[in-house]
Structure 1
Amino acid sequence: MKSRWTARLLAACTGLALALAAAGVSAETVIKLAHPNRNDAFDNTAGAMAIVFKNHVEVATQKRVRVEIFPEGQMGRDGDAVKLVRQGTIQSAISSVGGVAPLYPMLAVIDLPFAYSSVANAYDVFDGPFGHRLAEEIRRRTGLAVLGFGDPGGLFTITNSKRPIRMPEDVKGLKIRTMDLETHRTMIGSLGGTPVNVAWSELYNALGTGAVDGQMNPVPIVRFANFDEVQRHLTLSNHLFLPYVWVMNAKFLDDLAPGDRAAVMNGARLGVVASRGLSRLIESSDRGLPPLAQRMQVHTLTPREAEAFRKVTQPAVREAIERRFGAEGVEMLAAFERAIREERTP
């Protein structure tokens, strides 16, 4: 009898050990990462960020942490993916500013136009104390940890089919498509233009038919969307920089083992660097400015012209931010402007 119970006990212990071992093998950590573009590290900057991140995290953790990438809006539009991250349905998303702004509207402070001296100046602002503060505020208000601020294509330009834009009065009367953001509408309105809300999927046709005269986006996006086929004039205005905001569910990040969390943060930093390098390469390649210059009339704003735009647009946008966010918005905007001055690259 004793040997029978001993045998049963041994069998039970062996089964439990095997079950625990199996659980240990299958207890890998999975990060589901959504982004809006093709999952190609050489095609677009979001793809580059995601692929560099996946490679680093999986190698650094010996695949204790595995990254599953969901590109091309498989998790919905940017705002939908960000909400899924917040709910914990997925763990991370690379989103446009527009996808995060509904949860943290004060992102509007970075819409102050004609503020940066260069794209390097913009990078320094988001990598420096202001970027850290912005990330902390987003986390505090939304439960989303910011892994970094990537580059979707550089500084913004303005295109249109009517005339060269060199001075503020040249925008008067033009119908310009903007994102559905009050600050962008305010900027165009202050110049005497008419801001128009057109879905991205419909914009090419709207420009082609003349329902809309122009739009604003970075050079690589102008080329990618073939806007040179329906737009004649390109102004290198460099008036905005709207980074990708890379978010992760904060509780998920905090619950990672320290070594795995470090791998995630380092992988995100490498991904952001990759986005910036690729953005600059695309801008100067046959997928950027050179072919646009062959098909469009290109004008680069002089310092005097940029200052004229600054004097018209910045007061209007400041007023819109103060009206919406009050003293808190004014203080955050002041911190943003201070960071631009302090981080300005000579």
Structure 2
Amino acid sequence: MIISRIVKTTTAACVLGLTLAAPALAEKTIRLSILHPEDPYNNAQGAMATVFKSLVEVGTNGSVNVQIFPDGTLGKDNEVIQQMRDGIIQANISSSGGLAQHYPLMGIFDMPFLYANIADAQDVVSLESDFGKMFAADIEEKLDVEVLGMIEAEGFFSITNSVRPIETLEDMAELKIRTMTLPTHEELIRSLGGAPTPLPWPEVYTALQTGVVDGQMNPIPIVAHAKFSEVQEYLTITQHLLTPYTLMMNSDFYNSLTDEERYVVDYAARSAVYAGKGIGRINEASDKGLAGLREAMKVNMIAPAELERFAEAAQPAVLALIEEKFGQEGLDMVNALQAEIARVSGN
């Protein structure tokens, strides 16, 4: 374990060392790791990183520089979070799955069918909401980091498959659906009547192509980017899950900034979140997302009354897992999340 940790840290340090050979570094440097390409027009993390870098460097008159490490250059998500906590890098935008390995309560976001629409979800999964502030404060206390922003990751999950259109709960029966290796995701599909089949991401396309699995679940932009329309016939808009990206910074570094620099970092992070939300909705609606998929797949949306049946089948099963894993703390966090959703939606 110790040797593994040393190797990972040394590898990250070597990558950083090569980059730091560039001349004319600013007095302070934020090394920001993201999972996706540094492309502000094609993914939310790229948009967030680009906006954050520009505003920080301009707003501080160059006293703080931002270096972006895209495409998981520095390692797996959970490893990069540890590098940030250790001060090897200063900031990262993490996935829910990566952060869950450091802060397991991210699992509460696996409660399905919570949000009526994406507008409500964006208002709730935010540092502007009461729930978001409370949730971020708990992360900060337990991990000793600064949470600078939260954003829904690429929009709602939908389900694709190559067997039949999903219009009723009964249509889920025995469909082999690929899931991530998360008990909550597996239980969600099982509770709906499907057969959950956990597979690593690199194997998903081939598994769909060869019939090892019948379908999978992911946000619309990911379905499009992965070209699943080539091997899947049906796309069902279920809006059953939504998970966050979290922008975090090493606490010691954040506290080492001057008051003026912290002010700039804070507003740059807020602006980055808005940029990520905007590009996410654009990509979801454009030919990079749903518009393009509708030309290649048979797309349907489940009727509201039928969706209630989906929720009634899935929510108790997933909630039982959350209670089993997290106890009363998990239930309290889910209750706080649901209360915030009700407040935002006016229900």
Q: Tell me whether the two structures share a fold, i.e. TM-score over 0.5.
A: yes
C-alpha separation between the residues in 1 aligned to 2:182 and 2:192? 16
Give the aligned CA root-mean-square deviation in angstroms: 1.4
Give the aligned partner of residue 323 of structure 1: 324
C-alpha separation between the residues in 2 aligned to 1:254 and 1:123? 29
Q: Whose Rg is larger?
A: 1
CA contact (8 A) 1:103 1:142 kept: yes
> What count of residue pairs does the alignment treat as equivalent?
322
Give the aligned partner of residue 291 of structure 1: 292
Deviation (angstroms), 1:150: 2.4
Unaligned 5+ runs, structure 2? 1-23
Q: Which runs of 4+ in 1 moved over 2 A?
A: none
CA contact (8 A) 1:121 1:345 kept: no
Change (3 A) 1:26 1:69: closer
Percent of paired sites with the same residue: 44
Structure 2 residue matching 1:40: 3-state secondary structure: coil
Deviation (angstroms), 1:169: 2.1
Give the aligned partner of residue 254 of structure 1: 255
C-alpha separation between the residues in 1 aligned to 2:252 and 2:187? 37
Deviation (angstroms), 1:27: 6.8
CA contact (8 A) 1:151 1:272 kept: no
Change (3 A) 1:78 1:345: farther
Structure 2 residue matching 1:235: 3-state secondary structure: strand
CA contact (8 A) 1:144 1:248 kept: yes
Give the aligned partner of residue 267 of structure 2: 266
Instruction: Describe the superposition over 1:226-282 as per-residue Cα deviations: whole angstroms up to 9, x where unpaired.
Output: 000011110100111112111111221122111111111111111110011111111
Give the aligned partner of residue 143 of structure 2: 142
Instruction: Describe the superposition over 1:291-327 as per-residue Cα deviations: whole angstroms up to 9, x where unpaired.
Output: 2111111111111011010100001111111111111
1:276 aligns with 2:297: no
For residue 263 of structure 2, what is the amino acid of its counterpart?
Answer: A
C-alpha separation between the residues in 1 aligned to 2:103 and 2:285? 34
For residue 33 of structure 2, what is the amino acid of its counterpart?
Answer: A
C-alpha separation between the residues in 1 aligned to 2:346 and 2:292? 28
CA contact (8 A) 1:158 1:236 kept: yes
Give the aligned partner of residue 215 of structure 1: 216
TM-score (norm 1): 0.90
Give the aligned partner of residue 94 of structure 2: 95
CA contact (8 A) 2:26 2:62 kept: no
For residue 181 of structure 2, what is the amino acid of its counterpart?
Answer: D
Give the aligned partner of residue 183 of structure 1: 184
Give the aligned partner of residue 14 of structure 2: none
Unaligned 5+ runs, structure 1? 1-24
Give the aligned partner of residue 120 of structure 1: 119
Structure 1 residue matching 2:207: 3-state secondary structure: helix
C-alpha separation between the residues in 2 aligned to 1:268 and 1:182? 32
Give the aligned partner of residue 164 of structure 1: 165
Structure 2 residue matching 1:62: 3-state secondary structure: coil
Deviation (angstroms), 1:81: 1.2
